[in-house]
Amino acid sequence: MSGELLLGLDIGTGGAKGLLISPEGEVVARATAGYPLRTPKPGWAEQSPTDWWEATLVVLRELSRRAEGKIVGIGLTGQMHGAVFLDQRGEVIRPAILWNDARTGAECHEIEELVGRERLKEIAGNPALAGFQAPKILWLRKNEPENYARVRHVLLPKDYVRLKLTGELATDASDAAGTLLLDLRRRDWSDELLAALSIPREWLPEVFEGPEVTGKV
């Protein structure tokens, strides 16, 4: 098959998955590449963002090899809620803390005390749960202050891969809703929540709608 093609890329918990399709939706090729899940302590779940990127390259190379046509667009999806901490050079500071990590119970209570349980739900649409990104940021501040002092950017998993592909810091409103920091009505970061939790707004990427173009490879 020749002509224009679209590529879908999913950064999942178990591996990167890619799908090459025609504009009409016909599947042209599939590719996958796995990576490990690390549990250094009971209840912890971490992955190396470098593993995501290396798996992404495997998938993209395989799909590019099998593409009989020009790939004109890439769509990204991925595991939600995780926290990727980057320094001022965009380098990973520590392993990403994943959606299924359960270490942040104390930080969830702290968030609800600082914001108020009902007010939190009014803004972010959810109570504070251990899986969300916001309590992970507070956990890092409390438990790894040296790493926290180096943080300049916090990304969701698939958005780290976007950064590696395009050099752009961006996210979409759907994924950002899983951080506990998004104002769901405004579809942008909540200044009230960020102020209450002492999280700098400049750490967070710009929020786009899902279909918007956010960078070029």
Q: Which tens digit of pLDDT belongs to each residue from 11-25?
A: 999 999 999 999 888
Task: Give the chain's length.
Answer: 217
CA-CA-CA-CA torsion sign (13, 18, 19, 23): positive
Mean pLDDT of the chain, nearest integer: 95
| pLDDT tens per residue, range 88-102 | 999 999 999 999 999
| Amino acid 2: pLDDT | 59
| Amino acid 118: pLDDT | 96
* Cβ contact 172:204 at 8 Å: no
- Separation between Cα atoms, residue 206 and residue 217, nearest integer Å: 18
What percentage of the chain reaches a pLDDT higher than 70? 99
- Separation between Cα atoms, residue 96 and residue 48, nearest integer Å: 6
pTM (2 d.p.):
0.93
Ranges under pLDDT 50 in the chain: 1
Show the tokens assigned to 124.
Answer: 């972010």
Backbone angles phi, psi at 87, to 5 degrees: -90, -170
- Separation between Cα atoms, residue 93 and residue 109, nearest integer Å: 26
| Amino acid 1: pLDDT | 47
